[in-house]
Structures are given as structure tokens and as C-alpha cells.
Amino acid sequence: MVRPAPNRDGASTPQDPAAAQKQTATILSNLATTGNITEGDRLFLRDQVVARTGLSAEESDARVKEAVGKAQELRAEAQKKVDDAKAEANRLKVEAQKQFDDAKAQAEIAAEKARKASILTAFLLAASALVAAAAATIGAVWGGRHRNEGRIWKGISYSK
């Protein structure tokens, strides 16, 4: 869109070398991102190589083709690494979910054991309270008799 018009030999080269480098970097960046290059961008890169190196159009095409191939290889390698990372993330997610499910099952088992133990403890406390109440009642009855009879112990008595 903002490239200069082609000159008399059909090559379109910007006058400013920094602008040409920036545009070349943008083209290669888009190539690495998308994996594709338009014919116009390919011709622009060829023209840049011709203008900077003085090589023939065929040699420049070979260099551009090599650079495009390397950029596509880099993209393929990066995509493979992304795919590997996604696969590893999914594997870790599945493993974490399994560990979560195992921990949840163990927590449910522990909760059930604690529930049973608390029921048993409550029953035993109630039973011991009943036994203690019965013992206290029997002790109170015997103590009252001993008091009324004036006895301290079976054979020992006291006078009032």
C-alpha cells in the first residue's frame, strides 16, 4: 500500500534504507506468523536483494526462496513446540484432575470414618452417662441409708 511505484526496470525500492529494512522485517514477521507470503511481498524482497547485493534476479529469487523456507521452517518448529506444550498442558490437566478425584475420594472415606467414629463415641458417652447416673443413684441411696442408720462403714458407726 505504501511502497513506492516501480522504477523503470520494474523494481520497487524505497528510497530510505531504514524504511526498506522495516518493511522487510514486517514481511518476514508476517511470514513467520501466517506461514504464507504473497507474490507482491516475494517480489519486493527479491527487488531488495537485487538492489542491495547486485545479484541477478535468479540468484535473488534463490535467496528469497531460501529465506522464506527458513522462516516457514521456524514457524513449523514453533508450531510443533506450541502443540507439544498444549499436549503437555492437557496431560498435566488430566493428571491434576485424577489427583483431585483421588484426593476427593480419600476425603470422602475419611469423612465417613469420622462420622462412624463420632456416632460410636456419642453412643459410648451416652451409655457411660447412664452407667454413671445409675452408680450415682445407687451411691446416693446407700449413703442416705448409712446416714440414717448412723454408720460410716459397714461395721463402723458413729453416735449423734
- Give domain status of residue 111, yes or no: no
What 3-state DSSP class applies to 108? Answer: helix
The more confidently predicted of residues 63 and 13 is 63
- Give domain status of residue 91, yes or no: no
Residue 105 has pLDDT above 60, yes or no: yes
CA angle 26, 72, 31 (to 5 degrees): 20
- Give domain status of residue 149, yes or no: no
Are 157 and 150 in contact by the 8 Å Cβ rule? The answer is yes
- Give domain status of residue 84, yes or no: no
- Give domain status of residue 93, yes or no: no
- Give domain status of residue 30, yes or no: yes
pLDDT bucket at 155, cuts 50 / 70 / 90: low
- Give domain status of residue 26, yes or no: yes
Q: Can you give the residue range of the structural domain that contains 46? A: 17-79
Q: State the DSSP code for 157.
A: B
Distance CA 105, CA 97 (A): 12
Give the global pTM: 0.53
What is the number of domains present in the chain? 1
Task: Compute the half-sphere exposure of residue 37: CA atoms within 13 Å on the CB side of its CA.
Answer: 26
Residue 125 has pLDDT above 50, yes or no: yes
Distance CA 74, CA 111 (A): 54
- Give domain status of residue 60, yes or no: yes
| Assigned C-alpha cell, 42 | 516475494
